[in-house]
Amino acid sequence: MAEVPDLFDWMREKAAPAYGKLHWEGSFPEFLSQKLEKDPYRYTRTAYQMLADMLEHFGTEETVEDGVRLVRYRLFDDPFEGGRRALFGLSRVIERIAHAIRAAAKEEGKERILILNGPVGTAKTSLVDLISRGLEEYSRLAEGEMITFSWQFPRHLGDEGGKLGFRASEGAEDTETFARVPCQLRDPPVYLIPRPERAAYLAGLFARAYPDARTRPLVPRKILEGDLCFNCQAIARHLLRHGKGDWGRVVARVVVERFVYSELAGTGIAKVLPEGNVEGGAALLAFDENYKAVAQLLSDITLVRFAGKYVHGNRGVMHYSDIFKKPAVYLQHLLSACEEHKVDFGEVGADVDVAIFGTTNPPEYEALKKNPIAHGLRSRMRKVEVPYLLLFPEERKIYDQALREASRATHIAPHTTEMAALWAVLTRLERSRLNHDNALPEPTRKAVAKLSPLHKALLYAGEMPADLTAEERRALSQDVRRRLRREIPTEGMGGVSTRVVQNLLADICETGETRCVTPFELFKALRRLIAEGPEIYDFLAQKEEGDFHDAEKLLEQVVARYDRILLSEIEMSAVEVDVTELDGKVRDYLRHVRAYNSRERVTNPKTGAEEEPDEKLLRFVESRLAVEDGDRDDFRFKVLARATSGARVDGGKLDLRLTYGDLYKAVLEGRYHEQRAEVNWRRLERALAQGEGGLRSVDDATRRRTETLLGNLVSGHGYCSHCARDGVLYAVGKGLLG
């Protein structure tokens, strides 16, 4: 049996080093010499600067969407829980949020409330939650260190010139003999320096630490203008009075200490729900037994107890969930909090430093616009639209992620989540009006007029629809596709919610009526959903424009696309192909394309003779890819260019199957069409319909063909034996196969 470690020894070994890293404390002079003077930027950072630094800490990478280069922030891949809460398809939205954070960090204009506006289920709350989680983890690192202070007094004061209340040197009394009064708002220690002296002192520190004025960070206005909270000012004035103006006597009572962000502990992160949470308040502070010594010293001053969400969120983030469900009159405090950085706590006011996020839905935002009381509030907001996704491959990742958790014991058949994502995106698309733009060439206007919802979804995902002519493809240039994507700002603000489709897929898993979750089960469930009508689902009430917003016709388009995909996979799987032979065929094609492009001859491996590139081979592959004669030269040039980019992505090694999946598919389809006469689909259907015993009742050729087909579907395309069988029976029964 494995030996169980002693829990207490184990925790001592783990906890002590962790505690030491996260719980630095020292005197005010030690803070100046060990922290502030070495890195003045780090220890004067505002909430927005912390956010900006945190985003950079978790890293970025470049991505391309619709031909536009975007920055992708890895924080939103959820590095904390192995990607369980990762966000997909929101690079544009996140880039806008990051831009707003950077602008506030650099003090480019006045701070504003950052409002994330979008329909239900667009991950608005998840966005802010990951930002908050990122702050929690970042503040636990050395580069994310945050500092505040407490006042410390001996429990037994003795004479006024006695103990200072902290261990500043060897031999000082144990801290258990002292009582502390923490700064409830976690003010930065530099606030202890009076404002006129503070500005000059910090200017000198920044100039010394960052000699190049061009790259020198700014001293934040909040740090220059901010002041101690009511309690800390009262204590400081008291100590100055008793010390006859000796500022050293004031900071001698200070212990500077580290803190980390924690939403649960209410430290630097606060979430405000719409049902009437109090954002700020203060009450007179009553001293308990632990503060008798402090009460003795401070008997001639009044202190307050701060309360509310600003106490929790100060120096960090406040997230107003469903912000406009609160009446506008109750949100007026946000005006001074975001612009003047001041909050009224009832009895007293205070300076605050907080990044304010709000999430809302379009109907609530529209209602706010009609409220005259909210005019000032709206002028201090920066709105970021968070629509539903319009890229179905990204939407699919959301469903895949959810089903990994919901269906551990259930197999998910290939293309199930892909078809669910495609239908969801189709419900969100709007008909283009670019065909009425006379500034565009006539071929472009004609091509745009032809676009169905499925065409738009494929174009957005970077796939050129196969049923468009070569002329139409050329007319839909990258620039036109970008214009399509930007044409309708509200596209994606309607349609089915991601959450609805997630629940539908989860329900299929939970019924237990099937061994696999298949596209067929999905299509049945979607038809039932559509039948429930607009009384249940608002998106079904959208005004139809041809196929646009017609949920049933959109589902027909999805089923037709699935049929084409399934047919192709079955045909490819019905062919007995040697893998080495298949690789050789693709390599031969590439070798002849290279010779064709460079106008060279090819050495025949059998005869050694120099020959012209094999046009029959080239056209054999290209005909399966629907490459028209006028596009062959361009296609052949781009095929070879893929090899360069593919090798670059794979660290110099070219993964032939990954880079040229379409060529493999074309070769396999071509081989099937050469052998199609040998496949008796009706006989094969009868064998499959009888189950496992059916294969014993057919001839050897049909049995081998059936075993090859099912085996290739399982090994090459991700089917299990059950959904492979069901897929073939469906395709034969529907007449997709000859």
For residue 645, is pLDDT > 60? Answer: no
What is the distance between the alpha carbons of residues 56 and 73, in angstroms, rounded to a whole number?
8
- What is the sign of the dihedral through the CA atoms of 254, 259, 262 and 264? negative
| pTM assigned to the model | 0.85
User: What confidence score (pLDDT) does residue 500 get?
Assistant: 95
User: What confidence score (pLDDT) does residue 738 get?
Assistant: 63
Using the CB atoms, write b or e for 294-309: b if 16+ within 10 Å: beebbeeeebbebbbb
- Among 93, 168, 162, 81, which residue's Cα sits nearest to residue 124? 93
User: What confidence score (pLDDT) does residue 374 get?
Assistant: 83
What is the distance between the alpha carbons of residues 349 and 22, in angstroms, rounded to a whole number?
31
5 SS3 class? coil
Provide the pLDDT confidence category of residue 390 given band limits of 50, 70 and 90: very high
If you write DSSP's letter for every residue of 414-447 in order, what string do you get? Answer: TTHHHHHHHHHHHTT-----GGG-TTS-HHHHHH
What residues are paired with 385 via a beta bridge?
A: 117
Looking at residue 540, its amino acid is: L
What is the distance between the alpha carbons of residues 427 and 495, in angstroms, rounded to a whole number?
5
Provide the pLDDT confidence category of residue 164 given band limits of 50, 70 and 90: very low
Surface-to-core class of residue 391, CB atoms within 10 Å of its CB (0-12 exposed, 13-18 middle, 19+ buried): buried
User: What confidence score (pLDDT) does residue 163 get?
Assistant: 39
User: What confidence score (pLDDT) does residue 327 get?
Assistant: 84
Contact between residue 494 and residue 118 where contact means Cβ atoms under 8 Å apart: no
What residues are paired with 259 via a beta bridge?
A: 146
The whole-number average pLDDT for the span 508-519 is: 79
User: What confidence score (pLDDT) does residue 502 get?
Assistant: 94
Domain count, the chain: 1
Kindly state whether residue 243 falls inside one of the protein's structural domains: yes
Provide the pLDDT confidence category of residue 450 given band limits of 50, 70 and 90: very high
User: What confidence score (pLDDT) does residue 693 get?
Assistant: 62
The whole-number average pLDDT for the span 255-265 is: 95
Provide the pLDDT confidence category of residue 719 given band limits of 50, 70 and 90: very high
For residue 23, is pLDDT > 70? Answer: yes
For residue 6, is pLDDT > 50? Answer: yes
The two counts, helices (H) then strands (E), for the chain are 31, 19
* Degrees, nearest 5: CA angle 528-532-538: 120
Provide the pLDDT confidence category of residue 363 given band limits of 50, 70 and 90: very high
The whole-number average pLDDT for the span 198-212 is: 95
For residue 434, is pLDDT > 50? Answer: yes
Contact between residue 595 and residue 601 where contact means Cβ atoms under 8 Å apart: yes
pLDDT digits (tens, 9 = 90+) for 58-73: 999 988 776 678 899 9
For residue 621, is pLDDT > 60? Answer: yes
Enter the tokens of residue 322.
């469903």
For residue 646, is pLDDT > 70? Answer: no
pLDDT digits (tens, 9 = 90+) for 105-142: 999 888 999 999 999 999 999 999 999 999 999 999 99
* Alpha helix (H) residue ranges in 465-578: 470-475, 478-487, 498-511, 519-531, 551-573
Contact between residue 147 and residue 35 where contact means Cβ atoms under 8 Å apart: yes
pLDDT digits (tens, 9 = 90+) for 665-706: 888 877 777 777 777 788 888 878 876 666 666 777 778 888
Enter the tokens of residue 507.
């329900």
3-class secondary structure per residue, 115-166: EEECCCCCCHHHHHHHHHHHHHHHCCCHHHCEEEEEEEEECCCCCCCCCCCC
Kindly state whether residue 232 falls inside one of the protein's structural domains: yes
User: What confidence score (pLDDT) does residue 417 get?
Assistant: 96
Kindly state whether residue 731 falls inside one of the protein's structural domains: no
pLDDT top residue among 149 and 621? 149
Kindly state whether residue 148 falls inside one of the protein's structural domains: yes
Kindly state whether residue 190 falls inside one of the protein's structural domains: yes
* Chain centroid to CA 634: 37
**How many alpha carbons fall within 13 Å on the CB side of residue 225?**
11
Kindly state whether residue 134 falls inside one of the protein's structural domains: yes
Other residues' Cβ atoms within 10 Å of the Cβ of residue 243? 16
Contact between residue 257 and residue 147 where contact means Cβ atoms under 8 Å apart: yes
What is the distance between the alpha carbons of residues 709 and 571, in angstroms, rounded to a whole number?
8
For residue 285, is pLDDT > 70? Answer: no
> What percentage of the chain exceeds 90 in pLDDT?
54
pLDDT digits (tens, 9 = 90+) for 167-186: 444 444 444 567 788 999 99
What is the distance between the alpha carbons of residues 658 and 240, in angstroms, rounded to a whole number?
73
Average pLDDT of every residue of the chain? 86
- Of 184-193, 446-455, 693-702, give the lowest mean pLDDT range: 693-702
- Among 515, 413, 418, which residue's Cα sits nearest to residue 719? 413
Query: In this structure, what CATH number is given to the domain that contains residue 33?
Result: 3.40.50.300
For residue 576, is pLDDT > 70? Answer: yes
Kindly state whether residue 195 falls inside one of the protein's structural domains: yes
What is the residue range of 31's domain? 21-386
User: What confidence score (pLDDT) does residue 159 get?
Assistant: 43
Kindly state whether residue 309 falls inside one of the protein's structural domains: yes
Contact between residue 487 and residue 456 where contact means Cβ atoms under 8 Å apart: no
Q: Considering all CA atoms of the chain, what is the largest pairwise distance in Å, rounded to the nearest integer?
A: 109
For residue 594, is pLDDT > 50? Answer: yes
pLDDT top residue among 423 and 624? 423
If you write DSSP's letter for every residue of 357-405 in order, what string do you get? Answer: EEEE-HHHHHHHHT-GGGHHHHTTEEEEE-PPP--HHHHHHHHHHHHHH
The whole-number average pLDDT for the span 237-250 is: 90
If you write DSSP's letter for every residue of 571-596 in order, what string do you get? Answer: HHHTS---HHHHHHHHHHHHHHHHHH
User: What confidence score (pLDDT) does residue 692 get?
Assistant: 63
pLDDT top residue among 393 and 738? 393
Surface-to-core class of residue 726, CB atoms within 10 Å of its CB (0-12 exposed, 13-18 middle, 19+ buried): buried
For residue 609, is pLDDT > 90? Answer: no
First-residue to last-residue Cα distance in the chain: 62
The whole-number average pLDDT for the span 413-427 is: 97
If you write DSSP's letter for every residue of 77-109 in order, what string do you get? Answer: G-TTTTTTT---S-HHHHHHHHHHHHHHHTT-S
Provide the pLDDT confidence category of residue 639 given band limits of 50, 70 and 90: confident
The whole-number average pLDDT for the span 314-339 is: 90
